[in-house]
Structure 1
Amino acid sequence: MKSDNSQNWLNLKHDSATGIETLHAHFEGHAYDSHWHETYVIGLTESGVQQFDCRHKTHNSLEGGCFLSEPGEVHNGRAPCEGGFTYRTLYIPQGWLRDQIGTLYEQMPDQFELSFNNTLCADQRLAAATSSAFLAKHLEDPKIVQEGCFDHMVHALTQHINWRQKKQGENGHNLAYRIRDYLHDHMEEDILLQDVAREFGYDRFQINRAFKNAFHISPHVYLIQLRLARARTFLAKGMRASDVAHQLCFSDQSHLGRWFKRAYRLTPAAYQKCCTPIPDKG
């Protein structure tokens, strides 16, 4: 599938059984605007240099290197060098990865969440395992082959994860985390920042400042990204784009489409088509 730039292309597939998505893509120049996913992101840069901002740093993922991102981590993407970059990525649902990791341990902490040690990783074992898992899923190998490849990848991934206590407002950011929870609870309502301020007894400027100090993003941008991530979930389930737009408080379908394409380089209709299983013939 071609993008706006004739040199750009992407191929996305969605596995309805597991919710895992695979993306194979090439970009030159600007790749995508800042956004985040509700899934874990495990990827491999095939060629070129992939540059992106995440965790308040600029990263350069080089050929053969892995990149790792947690749910909710804001990132963007661009090609700083001529010729662009090509990469393959696995989008893994939180519950699926936690269940798979859980099979490797006798006990897992209840109040902790899975976290990646670093955004970039030069582990050749993980790179090879990620590539194999990607190809098995993307090319729709027999399920037992997919299972074996993903088991191998999860084993390799354990060297790059830790358990982090679920964030409830450490380092004096209690208000910001309460605001975040409020945005999650009201993402399907057409709320104003003034509503948030009234809820917590502060003015809009205090709310905005507290949130940005904790998350380095404004509440309204966070809410848009939250709605876009949820739109992917709704579209994958077959909901009409017009209904998704209405449910998530976009003014209309075209408004959703503009934001969606800026973040994911696909229209909602194109994304939904990738998620629609093709019936077996015969």
Structure 2
Amino acid sequence: MTMAQTFATTNDWIELNRDHATGIETLRAHFEGHAYDPHWHDVYLFGTTEAGVQQFRCRGRQNVSTPGQAFLLAPGEIHDGNAPEAGGFTYRTMYIEPAWFDAWLERLADDAPASVEPTFNATLAGDPRLVAAIDRAVGALHEREPRMAREAALDDLLLALGRHVNWRLPATAPDDPPMLARSARDYLHAHVGEDVGLDDLAAALGVSRFRVSRAFKTAYGMPPHAYLVQLRVVRARRRLMAGDEPAEIAAALGFADQSHLGRWFRRAYRLSPAAYRRRCTNITDD
């Protein structure tokens, strides 16, 4: 049985664990002052604040999470993290793969529409049942409780999430990013490891670099170059989870070197790539 490992700097600390049966990562952490730079995940994120005040910007507004509230983020939602009060904040969270979450919904939610994407009504929810369900699920996975207990906790979480979930057709809802921004995003995903310039992006889309930059920032909350760096960090996380070497990943994803990857990875996850790889794979460094 593998227990959570703690990574600490000054008064900040992180406990990270991964359930290999489901691929779900669980995290408990404490931060004082600045916690995270703006970033996004390609997974669903459900969490609660255990103690203190957690402040983060998401969906164009400042959110303040305190004990008794849950926070819910869908893949791609940009957010940061700060402790606005002395003493910082402690929180727990879980990261769930979209494919696993979708299959989970199909098994348990008989009324879940087909071929739609789940999103959330609000970033913060003061629903006691949901808060308790997240705390229980994170705890069951984080402490490696027996399989049946873990599965029951996840099922309870799904039921508690029910009234907080919205359903939308992929890329067809009125508030979806405009076509130009989506095309630019698709181009970046297809060329993630290349030294892409704004002129390359604009030429591929047949518009000016100013127009594509403006459309992209309006749709995604950050300019194309910042999104590309975040995309590389997200891809790096997946490759580290698979056991790849940080130096190899840095070269493949367009980072200048391993140190460059490390700087950006820490800004998003507060762990070095090597530390993250050790925790998620049980591979030790040579």
After TM superposition, the score normalised by the length of structure 2 is 0.93
- 1-structure distance, mates of 2:56, 2:12: 17
* Cα displacement (A) at 1:180: 1.1
- Extract unaligned runs of 5+ from structure 1: none
Measured against aligned partners, the alpha-carbon deviations of 1:130-149 in whole angstroms (never above 9, x if no partner) come to 11111110000111110011
Partner of 1:62: 66
- 1-structure distance, mates of 2:117, 2:153: 24
- 2-structure distance, mates of 1:190, 1:207: 17
Alignment partner of 2:248 out of 224, 230, 243: 243
Alignment of 1:222 onto 2:215? no
Q: Which moved more, 1:171-180 or 1:218-227?
A: 171-180
- 2-structure distance, mates of 1:121, 1:97: 19
- 1-structure distance, mates of 2:136, 2:283: 24
Structure 1 residues 208 and 169: alpha-carbon distance in aligned structure 2, compared to 1, 3 A threshold: farther
Partner of 2:104: 100
Residues 26 and 87 in structure 1, CA contact (< 8 A), matched pair in contact too = yes
Partner of 1:116: 120
Alignment partner of 2:214 out of 183, 205, 209: 209
Classify the secondary structure of the residue corresponding to 2:108: coil
* Cα displacement (A) at 1:167: 2.1
- Equivalent runs, 1:42-61 vs 2, <5 Å: 42-61=46-65
Residues 19 and 93 in structure 1, CA contact (< 8 A), matched pair in contact too = yes
Measured against aligned partners, the alpha-carbon deviations of 1:249-275 in whole angstroms (never above 9, x if no partner) come to 101111000000011100000111110
After superposition, the CA RMSD in angstroms is: 1.7
**Amino acid corresponding to residue 152 of structure 2 in structure 1:** G
- 1-structure distance, mates of 2:118, 2:77: 13
Measured against aligned partners, the alpha-carbon deviations of 1:100-149 in whole angstroms (never above 9, x if no partner) come to 11123346444421101110011100111111111110000111110011
Alignment partner of 1:180 out of 182, 185, 204: 185
- 2-structure distance, mates of 1:106, 1:245: 43
Partner of 1:159: 163
Residues 169 and 177 in structure 1, CA contact (< 8 A), matched pair in contact too = no
- Equivalent runs, 1:29-48 vs 2, <5 Å: 29-48=33-52
Classify the secondary structure of the residue corresponding to 2:215: helix
* Cα displacement (A) at 1:19: 1.2
Alignment of 1:265 onto 2:270? yes
- Extract unaligned runs of 5+ from structure 2: 1-5
- 2-structure distance, mates of 1:250, 1:16: 29
Alignment partner of 1:252 out of 257, 268, 271: 257
- 1-structure distance, mates of 2:220, 2:84: 26
- 1-structure distance, mates of 2:213, 2:228: 12
- 2-structure distance, mates of 1:65, 1:273: 32
Structure 1 residues 247 and 94: alpha-carbon distance in aligned structure 2, compared to 1, 3 A threshold: same
Partner of 1:274: 279
Residues 168 and 177 in structure 1, CA contact (< 8 A), matched pair in contact too = no
Q: Which moved more, 1:180-189 or 1:75-84?
A: 180-189
Classify the secondary structure of the residue corresponding to 1:60: strand
- 2-structure distance, mates of 1:278, 1:246: 21
* Cα displacement (A) at 1:188: 2.4
Alignment partner of 2:15 out of 11, 19, 26: 11
